[in-house]
Amino acid sequence: MSFNYNFKKIAVIPTAKDFIDIILSKTQRKTPTVIHKQYKIARIRAFYIRKIKFTQQNFHDRLSHIIQDFPKLDDVHPFYADLINVLYDRDHFKLALGQLNTARHLIDTVAKDYVRLLKYGDSLYRCKQLKKAALGRMATIIKRQAANLTYLEQVRQHLARLPSIDPYTRTIILCGFPNVGKSSFMNKITRADVDVQPYAFTTKSLYVGHTDYKYLRFQVIDTPGLLDQPLEQRNVIEMQAITALAHLQAAVLYFFDLSEQCNFTLMEQMKLLESIKPLFVNKPLLLVMNKADILRMEELPPHKGDVLKNNNLPKYEMSTLTDFGVMEIKEAVCERLLAFRIDNKMKTKKVEGLLNRLHIAQPQYVDPNRIPCIPESVRNRKLLAAKRRTKMNTEILEQKCERSRKLERQIEEEMGDDYVLDLKKHYDIESEQKYDCIPEIWEGHNVADYIDPDIFNKLTELEREEQLREEAGMYDYKMPELSETMREIEQLAKQIRDKKIIMKDEARITKASTKPVMPRTAAAKLRDRSVTKLKEQMEDLGVDMEATENAHYKRTRARSRSRSEPAKKRMRMESMSQSRARSVSRPPRDEMGVKDTVMKKKLKKIAHKALKKKVAKKGLKGEADHFIGNKMPKHLFSGKRGLGKTDRR
């Protein structure tokens, strides 16, 4: 049995606020939004009951989807159940899902109660208040689940990042103290790229890689490093390794660091093996002595060598730095795992049923001195078939001889330079017609019928006449010399053209300029006008300006000529008459293109019928209807509203 748990398919869980906004927005968009108090009370009740039921169904479906997406700890493989317990706390996980389930039932109950109350609503206002209370209570229930929704979203994100481990396939687990070379070995035999660093606890979670042996796929799991301490004192990182060792039916490679560069002695590494040995019951276990490039087993001191010799488990030396022994360990653990899985399958009852369906045929004893016997009918049939084959072969050979002829390549080699390729000699037509000209047909007519046979002679005659004309100087053209006046006019025209080009360029530059326009006040300042200057100029002209010392010169605004009331009235009447004259000149829209009153009446009747058919029967919107589109959902984009503003929604 093979089964993969795909946690990446779990849908994103929104926050409580987004949850409520999504559902209420959907209710606003998917249900009718306009009701009037003059409607029958039954219609008003149905309008608001539909809104409550629609909202309740959406909440119910969304919560059910969230609850069903997450794995049920009682149904999944014990490995995943224990892993979820280690990473997320089983009680917290089940409590969050249970509270969402309770919230779902509460929402169903609220909707049921308020639908029952709505059936007794006696006005639009009371029905609306009941609907508002129902939706508010549903939203409050979801708000109280904010912490659970946030927790489950974090669990979903972490579950999606977990490696895809198949608990039923052929599996190899790597375990041991931190920094003993587990990840380096995994990078050697698989394509997984596990981070390798010269310090402890580089691997903080389970890593999965895959390798092939004898055309079979093996799953390799790299576990975080373990420390020799009681189970209750282990952290989350170590408990992931313990979970994998406890629940997966796999071959186990326990790594030793002979050089003790991992900061743990050989004795401590052996104690860890003894402490976790109960997890290896009924599983193939191999001991891997890593870092053999630094220290070999033969080079160990006697007191350390005795620690390993006292253990009867198979031992293999390896160096991930020099690749010494890597492939041998891979082959050994794969062979042990395959043998272990076959033994387990042989112990089940399914094997007996399979063997009972198999039958192995054993050949009977045959006397070697027995003379072969061929029946007469079989011998005659074989002779007849042989004769038939011989006759057919003879006919085929005769046909080949008849068809055989020299190849063009052979003819070319025989004739040498005298050979000329002739593609028409093998045409399957009469000999005298093989080399006839093939007629050129265009649109069903023979082109040769329309060609003048003397066309080339005529062309030669035309070319000769043209040559005589050229020699006689018929096509020679000499520009007449200009007079002095014409030369001056030409020079002046050239100057005018150049000046126009320059003026065009200057105008274009001025137009495209981004300089600010000078205001009128600045221009007035530039003119620099003052009373003193005015006096000086007038005195220079001989005018006596002494009597104007107390005169006050001030800038006056040009006054518009005041019109009398009768004049204004007359102008207003003239403008009205002009506008009326203009309007009279243009016919109304319903009379444009109509030649007489009979046609006008007929067209009005047709338009009235079309509009009546559209509006009266189908109840569609006509061109006289006022329409104001509701572009934004009210509950999302507007502020708080008082009572009475939207009492018909």
Q: At what angle do helices 124-143 and 90-118 cross, to 10 degrees?
A: 180
Write out pLDDT tens, residues 634-648.
555 555 555 655 555
Helices of type H across 449-563:
455-472, 484-512, 520-527, 531-540
Q: What domains are defined for the chain?
A: 8-158 (1.20.120.1190), 164-351 (3.40.50.300)
pLDDT tens, residue by residue, 213-234: 888 889 888 877 766 455 555 5
Q: pTM above 0.85? A: no
Q: What is the pLDDT of residue 578?
A: 59
pLDDT of residue 535: 83
Query: Is the pLDDT at 57 greater than 90, yes or no?
Result: yes
Please report which confidence band the pLDDT of residue 526 belongs to, taking 50, 70 and 90 as the band edges.
low
Determine the Cα–Cα distance for residues 249 and 340; give it in Å rounded to an integer.
10
pLDDT at 111: 95
How would residue 18 be classed by pLDDT, with cut points 50, 70 and 90? Answer: very high
Closest Cα to residue 52, out of 120, 171, 126, 137?
A: 137
> What's the rounded mean pLDDT across residues 52-62?
94
Query: By mean pLDDT, which of 6-10, 201-205, 329-333, 384-388 is the weakest?
Result: 201-205
486 or 370, higher pLDDT: 486
pLDDT at position 353 is: 77
Which three-class secondary structure state does DSSP give residue 610?
helix
In Å, what is the CA distance from 479 to each residue of 290, 487, 491? Answer: 105, 14, 18
pLDDT of residue 591: 75
pLDDT the model gives residue 544: 79
* Closest C-alpha among 121, 135, 150, 179 to residue 20: 135
- Cβ pair 208, 167 in contact under 8 A: no
Q: What is the pLDDT of residue 561?
A: 47
pLDDT category at 499 given cuts 50, 70, 90 is very high
Give the separation between CA 615 and CA 606, rounded to whole angstroms.
14
pLDDT at 495: 92
pLDDT at residue 640 in the model: 58
Tokens of 200: 């402890």
Statement: residue 198 has pLDDT above 80: no
What proportion of the chain, given as a percentage, has pLDDT over 90? 18
pLDDT tens digits, residue range 242-262? 666 666 778 888 888 888 778
Q: Identify which has the larger pLDDT, 318 or 302.
A: 318
Amino acid present at 326: V
Count of positions (residues) in the chain? 649
Of the chain, the percentage scoring pLDDT greater than 70 comes to 78
What confidence tier does 149 reach under pLDDT thresholds 50, 70, 90? very high
Which is higher by pLDDT, 538 or 496? 496
Using a 10 angstrom Cβ sphere, with 0-12 exposed, 13-18 middle and 19 or more buried, the burial of residue 518 is exposed
pLDDT of residue 576: 62
The residue whose two tokens read 């010169």 is 553
Condensed to tens digits (0 to 9), the pLDDT of residues 344-369 reads 887 777 777 777 787 888 888 877 78
Position 560 scores a pLDDT of 47
pLDDT at 285 over 80: yes
Three-state SS sequence of 390-437:
HHHHHHHHHHHHHHCCCCHHHHHHHHHHHCCCCCCCCCCCCHHHCCCC
Q: What DSSP state is assigned to residue 177?
A: S
Angle of CA points 349, 350, 355, to nearest 5°: 105
DSSP class of residue 221? Answer: E
**Average pLDDT, integer, range 70-94:** 77
Look up tokens 């007996």; give the residue: 352
Per-residue CA distances from 153 to 96, 161, 325, 481, 538 (Å): 11, 13, 46, 98, 94
More confident residue, 270 or 523: 270
pLDDT at 58: 94
pLDDT > 80? residue 515:
no
d(CA 226, CA 239): 9
186 has pLDDT over 60 = yes
* pLDDT at site 2: 37
